[in-house]
Structure 1
Amino acid sequence: MHGIILRWKVENKDHHCLLRDYLRNVKEISRQALTAVKQHGELRVNDEEVTVRALLHEGDEVTVVFPPEERSDGMEGRQIPLSIVYEDEHILVINKQPNLPTIPSIYHPNRSLANGVLYYYDVNNIPSTFHAVNRLDRDTSGLLIIAKHRYAHDLFSRQQKLGKVKRTYLAVVHNIMERIDGTINAPIGRKEDSIIEREVRKDGQEAVTNFKVIRYLKKETVVRLILETGRTHQIRVHMASIGHPLLGDDLYGGSIEKISRQALHSWKLQFFHPFLQRELNFSVEPPEDMNKLINEL
């Protein structure tokens, strides 16, 4: 059994390039991944098996057969409904429902998005494990990217570090915000004596959140938020730090009177697809609990 198979035509600019350099520098396959291919997969040029020292010529067809991916112990597929917004051979874009963690935990060992995706892979004979490019908190709904193989995960993670994965969130926060828009630039770190809670602190990691008011409700504000960094609980911590905790977010001072989970939704997603070499854009409306909250208020 093998993993994914990828093929490329060698262009003129890569004429007389060594296969090793072509895969490492042009296709950006990591050293670790290339070692795994050499040991447990296959490298071919024009359907002939070769080594990484093969010399390439314009028009050659390069084939890389990746080894099958191994799943971590305890990572089992479970039949969990998935809302798949987009799919190709490299990624899934999923609209995650609230009250579902992205990955298993001590408290939710068998019911997570990862378990649902692995079940989907098993049913569709996709030889992969779970690779989340970005994650959402258990009670946050909306869009996220899942890579179907390790190579795709590497490339999309690099896009994210370069700022080419743009995430826009929708939130309902307590109180009327006086500033219509702005940027919160405040480092975030783990709160002492807590393994879950975060806080703004001088020795934390850089965290930048841009916000813009969408509409005012009676005593609340609907806000659009764009992340420049991706720290744990970033939006929740930042909004609470300026006196506007999210509705339903009792961990950071929000009330659960009108909604039982934080009113936060991953609304829009824009990214550069390294395989398609173009930008893709997606958006999904908030689920019923947030829409009801906004309309009733």
Structure 2
Amino acid sequence: MKFSWTYLEDAPIRVRTFLAFNEVSRALIVVAKYHGGDILLDGEHVFTTVMMHKGQTVTLVLPDEKGSDTVDRCDEPIDILYEDQDYLVLNKPAGVASVPAHHVVTADSLVNRVKGYYLRQHYANQVTHIATRLDKDTSGIVVFPKHHFAHSVMDKQLKKHMVQKDYVAIVSGRLVADHGLIDAPIGRDPESFVKRQVLRDGKPSETEYWVVKRMPAATVVKIRLHTGRTHQIRVHMAYLGHPLVGDQMYAGPQWIARQALHCERIKFYSPFKQQWIEIRCPLADDIQQVLNS
């Protein structure tokens, strides 16, 4: 793959500095220099210490990414919400894990399904990068960067809290406040390998919510995460005394076969297209049925 940028400023600049301005990490430069790629200035191989001038074009050449033999192929279907040459965005159904589980023999996770899709499409890059994940029983948006560079860019955005992710949840009981920010640290439950809880010495965790609709015994909320802890929404709503409907692990009422949680919207910036990308995902049928009833 090739990525090119033209320098438009008057003052000379080193190639490596200009690449850094364009989100090229040191790791990507190493790949380009030593693992089958290249760095070109106006089409000629250069070292990154070389000075470039206004009007010159630098090109980053990255080698094709070979898929891992340890990730099995699965040809179950995927629901594509958006795809370009850099990102694949899927609607994950509830009941399908985002990534393969070590203790499960059957190779059916979203990662396995994407590998099958890449193979069927004969893409040059076969590594199944995954940037966002959802719990197995949460439905909605999951993002797969289609190459190392795109993954690196999204990781930076996630760390800087530039990526907006909105969820819809049905919580038990009637929330009083129309809007709230839950600021409560989360850590591992000392009595469980999987379960989490609010702990004084846990990791900082913030969840913001807005009430969408109040029902007699439940409340529909829109939720935006400001941090990304395991089970964060589920733990924070249980901490408020309003566990998610269907969330057996955190004592939610069993009106649905899984937690009523769906990633409905994501917004992130693509430097490759030089524009913001916003994707929405319709509610899963089982959650919609709860709302209708």
TM range (shorter): over 0.9
Aligned to 1:274: 271
Aligned to 1:36: 31
Distance 1:9 1:125, change over 3 A: farther
Q: CA deviation at 1:73?
A: 4.5
Q: TM-score scaled to structure 1, two decimals?
A: 0.92
Matched, 1:177 2:172: no
User: Where has structure 1 moved over 6 Å in runs of 4 or more?
Assistant: none
Distance 1:285 1:37, change over 3 A: same
Query: How many angstroms apart in 2 are the aligned matches of 1:46 and 1:161?
Result: 33
SS of residue matched to 1:117: helix
Matched, 1:74 2:74: no
Which one-letter code corresponds to 2:27 in the other structure? Answer: Q
Q: CA deviation at 1:130?
A: 1.9
- For residues 22-101 of structure 1, the aligned pairs below 5 Å read 22-23=18-19, 25-40=20-35, 41-101=37-97
Query: How many angstroms apart in 1 are the aligned matches of 2:283 and 2:224?
Result: 16
Q: 1:189 aligns with which of 187, 190, 193?
A: 187
8 Å CA contact 1:156–1:274 kept in 2: the answer is no
User: Which string of whole-angstrom CA distances, capped at 9 and with x for unpartnered residues, describes residues 92-115 of structure 1?
Assistant: 121111111111112445111111
Query: How many angstroms apart in 2 are the aligned matches of 1:39 and 1:193?
Result: 47
Q: 2:227 aligns with which of 226, 229, 237?
A: 229
Q: CA deviation at 1:21?
A: 2.2
Which one-letter code corresponds to 2:216 in the other structure? Answer: K
Which one-letter code corresponds to 1:206 in the other structure? Answer: P
Aligned to 1:290: 287
Q: TM-score scaled to structure 2, two decimals?
A: 0.93
Query: How many angstroms apart in 1 are the aligned matches of 2:110 and 2:227?
Result: 23
Aligned to 1:265: 262
Q: Percent identity?
A: 36
Which one-letter code corresponds to 1:16 in the other structure? Answer: P
- For residues 198-217 of structure 1, the aligned pairs below 5 Å read 198-217=196-215
Aligned to 2:108: 111
Unaligned stretches of 5+ in structure 2?
Answer: none
Q: CA deviation at 1:166?
A: 0.7
RMSD of the alignment, in Å?
1.7
